[in-house]
A = this chain, B = another copy of it.
């Protein structure tokens, strides 16, 4: 693997500064993304049987229809029902980060990677970000580098975390990716486009908008506590006994939501969603959308790039309205706790997962009479607290077009009434150490909550 184009293992003596390196990567990964009407998207077509938008190989993913019936979020407990387009991608992919310890610091091998939906093209991605099709070569592209550290005997690397985690439940049906962290003792050179970054460097990059992509943020949430640099709001010596609730009680809050709420999911032909006179979804001139502009549209792009697995391809992207994901944090006896909420989303695999304190789209919040989520006002303007994190991040640019989510973390003082009020149903104060215990397992925290936990543990303090 070593060649003249590789940089040495960390610390990268002689490396150019990160920003200069990233600029070079952006220039080197020159690409164009051009909008193409869905009905003219090369390689894709609306299936004659179902109207689903599918690839001619039958693989990758499809845009299908979903009928959801749930009594979550209705207030009075009577189920409501709707249909919507949804991305179906049954295949489980891998998001893998390779770690290496050097002189007491932990380094991650990350990759500057262009994704067509990113508003700025290139962002920092995990060591390996691949669908099973990438592994098996359906893309007919180049071999994915570093996969040997994540399969088989992993070249002797130790696995520190390995679980299947969900992705956006409002846009995907039952989507999961395998999030893997491995630690190697080998000297692993960074190939062109890759770079070893310390966790402290990554913490600083997380505080900048649209730099660490969603895949990096989710897989870094699985870092075990023993490799994390200890910081202010990061985990202190918080064993289970120091938390407000036992871990069993936390698990019970989620089990109760999974028992109590009905969530019926029926995959439908997309045609039934788009041709229903009762529903708001329509084929538009070049895509799929709603008259009222809510939620998302689906559009098509053709990408020409030099440094992607294949040099030219076309694909649909889901373009959502802007979102907000916010976490309230407080210390109880010095132990940091976060306020999580069990949430049912349209495509959740197992009824409910914990999401952040606040999770909503922001487009219609300022309208008269708009529903304001619980704790939103505290998140935006705490009476007694401080903003410890506030950046705008991108959702996965391989599926989503300019999907911007404001990530905000507010640490409340004990005197803020939101810190001590009786909690509405489905909310639970969970210690950071308990969240880290949950993150060893799949489908406990949704992707928004996981990304906020990465920000909290690596980028605050």
Which B residues are in CB contact (< 8 Å) with A350?
164, 176, 349-350, 442-443
Residues 431 to 454 of chain A near chain B (Cβ within 8 Å): 440-443
Binds B, one of A1-9, A155-163, A290-298: A155-163
Given the known interface contacts A350-B349, A350-B442, A441-B441, the answer about A160 and B255 at a Cβ–Cβ threshold of 8 Å is: no
Which B residues are in CB contact (< 8 Å) with A91?
262
Interface centre among A162, A178, A258 (most CB of B within 10 A): A162
Given the known interface contacts A264-B90, A349-B349, A351-B92, the answer about A255 and B441 at a Cβ–Cβ threshold of 8 Å is: no
Residue of B nearest to A253 (CB): B162
Residues 1 to 26 of chain A near chain B (Cβ within 8 Å): none
Q: Is the CB of B256 within 8 A of A162?
A: yes
Given the known interface contacts A258-B164, A349-B349, the answer about A440 and B92 at a Cβ–Cβ threshold of 8 Å is: no
Binds B, one of A228-236, A244-252, A335-343, A403-411: A244-252
Q: In the complex, what distance in Å separates the CA atom of A353 from the CA atom of B248?
A: 21
Interface centre among A249, A258, A349 (most CB of B within 10 A): A258
Q: Is the CB of A248 within 8 A of B159?
A: yes
Which B residues are in CB contact (< 8 Å) with A441?
251, 441
Given the known interface contacts A90-B264, A259-B94, the answer about A252 and B442 at a Cβ–Cβ threshold of 8 Å is: no
Q: Is the CB of A255 within 8 A of B178?
A: yes
Residue of B nearest to A261 (CB): B92
Q: When each residue 162-184 of chain A gets 1 if its CB lies under 8 Å from chain B and 0 otherwise, what string results?
A: 11100000000000101010000
Residues 197 to 256 of chain A near chain B (Cβ within 8 Å): 224, 247-249, 251-252, 255-256
Which B residues are in CB contact (< 8 Å) with A180?
252, 255
A283 interface residue (CB < 8 Å to B): no
Q: Is the CB of A178 within 8 A of B251?
A: no
Residue of B nearest to A178 (CB): B259
Which B residues are in CB contact (< 8 Å) with A160?
248
CB contact between A162 and one of B178, B255, B351 (< 8 Å): that residue: B255
Which B residues are in CB contact (< 8 Å) with A80?
none
Which B residues are in CB contact (< 8 Å) with A351?
92
A132 interface residue (CB < 8 Å to B): yes
Q: Is the CB of A440 within 8 A of B248?
A: yes
Given the known interface contacts A92-B258, A178-B255, A441-B441, the answer about A248 and B164 at a Cβ–Cβ threshold of 8 Å is: no
Q: In the complex, what distance in Å separates the CA atom of A256 from the CA atom of B163?
A: 9
A161 CB to closest chain B CB (Å) equals 7
Which B residues are in CB contact (< 8 Å) with A255?
162-164, 178, 180, 442
Q: In the complex, what distance in Å separates the CA atom of A393 from the CA atom of B160?
A: 39
Q: Is the CB of A259 within 8 A of B132?
A: yes
Q: In the complex, what distance in Å separates the CA atom of A249 from the CA atom of B182?
A: 11
A384 CB to closest chain B CB (Å) equals 30
Which B residues are in CB contact (< 8 Å) with A258?
92, 164, 176, 178
Q: In the complex, what distance in Å separates the CA atom of A350 from the CA atom of B353?
A: 15
The 11 sampled A-B contact pairs (Cβ below 8 Å) are: A92-B258, A162-B248, A162-B252, A162-B255, A163-B251, A164-B258, A164-B259, A248-B440, A251-B441, A349-B350, A350-B443
Which 6 pairs from chain A and chain B are nearest by CB? A162-B252, A162-B255, A178-B259, A92-B259, A159-B252, A164-B258
